[in-house]
Structure formats: C-alpha cells, structure tokens
Amino acid sequence: MVFLDQLSKFWVRKWLSPSGAWEVIPGFFRLVKVWNPGVAFGLFAEHPVWARYFIMALGLLAVGVFYHLARKGLSPWVCGLVAGGALGNLLDRLFYGRVFDFLDLYYGKYHWPAFNLADSAISIGIFLLLLETLSSKPSK
C-alpha cells in the first residue's frame, strides 16, 4: 500500500502541470495537485507549527496500533490498509511537511475534498473494521 501510494503521488506530481488538472471523467472525476497541511479532508489546515509534530506522532501511533492488532488476530488485510495508509501520509509529512492529495470527485459545484490512495486505504480499512466488528457475534 505504501509503495502504491508514494508511486501514485510521485507520478501525479511529475506528470500533471503545476496549476493544471486532468479531467478523467468530465463532470465527475479529475486529477489535481493539492498540498494538505491538515489532516483528513483538510481539517486543521491552519494549525500551529507544533501541531505538525503531534499529527505525525498520531500517524506513527496508528501504524503501531494496527500492527499490534494484526498480530493479535484482527484481519491483517484490514490492519494493513489502515497502517499502510497512515504510513504513506506520514512519509509525506516527514519529507514535505504536508500531504499530497490528487483525487478530486465532484458534481457541478459540489466537491468532495481532494484525497489520495493512502486516504482511500484508511477509509476502506476503517469501514471493513466496522463491518467485521458489527458482524462478529458476541460470546456468551
């Protein structure tokens, strides 16, 4: 996951013009260049400098927690998605001080915040974790 995330970010940064966008599906999906200094969906983008280190520490903690959960029996695929996504975004923060997002879903004037493969992996992993947790039968 980390490799695909970093490779996709590298490819879009190099291939797409600095201010350009590429319409993949006109009216719905395009590739853009967005640097996100915040967390998911651009939240806390205007944070103070010390918060950058706090956000990186949380990312590292998430990697460790999901690695531990995988070793304790939680689905390694689910844990790998979340940990891999967190690590992909953590690498961006370490090297650039912010996360590179490039996937833009929209309809007319309505836009979902730009995201990347790491964000997708985290979201899918958390969704699968919730499904797994909700579908497991409680023991008597």
The Cα–Cα gap between 14 and 20 comes to: 12
The Cα–Cα gap between 99 and 97 comes to: 7
Beta-bridged to residue 29, according to DSSP, are 25, 105
Tokens of 22: 């590429």
Reported for 50-54, long-range contacts at CB under 8 A and 24+ positions apart, including other chains, are: 52/93, 52/97
SS3 content of the chain, % helix, strand, coil (to 5): 55, 15, 25
Which single residue is written with the structure tokens 């853009």? 32
- Just list the catalytic residues: 101, 119
